[in-house]
């Protein structure tokens, strides 16, 4: 696999408290990958370490073959990584349009970059609500805005942390469809979520962590075929 992101031997945590141990993770160019695990197992910490938000204690994070561990978050973002964080964190007092243009860039030098018009075509609901404050949107619209804002940076790698959390089933389905469309468009994506069946349908490969360590990784076909893994590590 031609790895776009390659995490090796990652150890990270908060202050004296170590959360991740010798964690390896790869995402190939053009792949959609998932990071799975029960609550509190270290998924968000992994993403924070990749993005430079929680500098690793040890290990390496390579992006396009270059070391990015230890770089500040803005440098990591400029390399072409974009995070849609847990809780969305859109700007409530900026309009939809202002949220979208705030960090616009063409990080991956795409021939057909994401622009305001393209994001509006992808999420017509955002076009309808262009002048509304972010804080006045529904949960699903806020999630679309968070994804649209990340796409406006034209990321080489899009990371979504619990993008469907707290959404009604129909709205959740809209987000899954949007992720499938991004995959079809060739977007490389790392998805953290808990809906295994939807992730199997969406993703190429999966990594499961427990107590900060990788306990399983494999393809969708392998995860689909072994429900004992779901039971053992995901409590399903
Ligand atoms: N800011 C922090 N300071 C100290 N400990 C933290 C902090 N954030 C998370 N932790 C701890 O790190 C561990 C891993 O948390 P993390 O948020 O990475 O898990 P997660 O797998 O993303 O779970 P969830 O699905 O609940 O978000 C947990 O024990 C958590 O209590």
Index of the ligand 1 atom closest to the CA of residue 37: 21
Ligand 1 atom 7 nearest Cα: 14
Å from CA of 54 to ligand 1 middle: 12
- Whole-structure pTM value: 0.95
Confirm or reject: Cβ of 16 under 6 Å from ligand 1: no
Confirm or reject: Cβ of 54 under 6 Å from ligand 1: no
Å from CA of 100 to ligand 1 middle: 29
pLDDT per residue, tens digit, the chain (236 aa), is 679 999 999 999 999 999 999 999 999 999 999 999 999 999 999 999 999 999 999 999 999 999 999 899 999 999 999 999 998 899 999 999 999 999 888 877 777 899 999 999 999 999 999 999 999 999 999 999 999 999 999 999 999 999 999 999 999 999 999 999 999 999 999 999 999 999 999 999 999 999 999 999 999 999 999 999 999 999 88
**ipTM of the complex, rounded to two decimals:** 0.95
Confirm or reject: Cβ of 42 under 6 Å from ligand 1: yes
DSSP string, the chain: --EEEEEEEEEEEETTEEEEEEEEEEEETT-EEEEE-STTSSHHHHHHHHHTSS--SEEEEEETTEE-TT--HHHHHHTTEEEE-TT----TTSBHHHHHHTT---TT--SS---HHHHHHH-HHHHHTTTSBGGGS-HHHHHHHHHHHHHTT--SEEEEESTTTT--HHHHHHHHHHHHHHHHTT-EEEEE-S-HHHHHHH-SEEEEEETTEEEEEEEHHHHHH-HHHIIIII--
């Amino acid at each position: 696999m031609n790895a776009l992101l390659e995490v090796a031997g990652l150890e990270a945590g908060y202050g004296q408290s170590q959360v991740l141990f010798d964690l390896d993770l790869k995402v190939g160019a053009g792949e959609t990958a998932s990071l799975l695990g029960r609550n509190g197992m270290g998924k968000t910490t992994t993403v924070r370490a990749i993005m430079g938000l929680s500098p690793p204690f040890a290990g390496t994070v390579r992006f396009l073959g270059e070391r990015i561990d230890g770089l500040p978050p803005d440098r990591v973002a400029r390399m072409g990584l974009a995070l849609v964080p847990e809780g969305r964190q859109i700007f409530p007092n900026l309009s939809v349009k202002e949220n979208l243009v705030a960090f616009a860039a063409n990080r991956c030098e795409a021939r057909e970059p994401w622009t305001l018009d393209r994001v509006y075509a992808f999420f017509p609901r955002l076009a309808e609500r262009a002048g509304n404050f972010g804080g006045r949107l529904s949960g699903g619209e806020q999630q679309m805005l968070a994804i649209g804002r990340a796409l406006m940076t034209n990321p080489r790698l899009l990371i979504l942390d619990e993008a469907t959390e707290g959404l009604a089933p129909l709205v959740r389905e809209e987000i899954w469809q949007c992720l499938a469309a991004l995959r079809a468009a060739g977007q490389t994506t790392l998805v953290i979520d808990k809906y295994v069946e939807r992730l199997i349908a969406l993703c190429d490969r999966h990594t499961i962590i427990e107590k900060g360590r990788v306990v399983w990784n494999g393809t969708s076909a392998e995860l689909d075929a072994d429900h004992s893994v779901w039971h053992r590590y995901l409590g399903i």
